[in-house]
Amino acid sequence: MGKELKTNAMRFLDKSKIEYTVQTYECEEFIDGIHTAEKLGQPLEETFKTLVAKGKSGSYYCFLLPVALELDLKKAAKSVDEKSVELLHVKDITAVTGYVRGGCTPIGMKKQFMTVVHNSAEAMPQFYISGGRIGVQIHLSPQALVKAIRGKFEDLVLAQSES
């Protein structure tokens, strides 16, 4: 097997001296996070997706939440002191983040955006996030990630009865 290809996310974690492990999987095109977690045998509540949104002010934000849950746009807006936020259109993801849909991660983007991680991760020793490329997942400490990217933990999801 050839040399492991490092993504921008992995280079950032290496430079920041944050321990992580990488899981890869074969994937021709993006499959949703639930299928990715199931394919890799990862618990759904420990596998997080990265959503990028634009606030009323024009600023961009990253929100990380468990793959099976839905983002509450009102809670998301409140967490970043915006009147409202709107999810980025799929066609704009690469231009704004430098990543493709399904490979988007809050680390190593073109520009570091304010990142909010759902508070369920705060007590977890490790969680899974995208590694910056389709077919790559990173397993790391949520606390180390939040500290390195100057993010924060907040409640971001719709109540189960609302989803």
Domains of the chain: 8-154 (3.90.960.10)
SS3 state at 143: helix
Please give the pLDDT value at position 5.
78
Best CA proximity match to 52, nearest among 9, 131, 116: 116
- 106 pLDDT more than 70: yes
Mean pLDDT throughout 72-85? 97
98 near 70, Cβ under 8 Å?
no
Quote the Cα angle for 26-27-30, to 5°.
155
- 28 pLDDT more than 80: no
Longest alpha-carbon distance in the chain:
50
Instruction: Please give the helix or strand (H or E) that residue 86 lies within, else none.
Output: strand 85-87
The model's confidence at residue 163, banded by pLDDT at 50, 70 and 90, is very low
Quote the Cα angle for 74-79-123, to 5°.
115
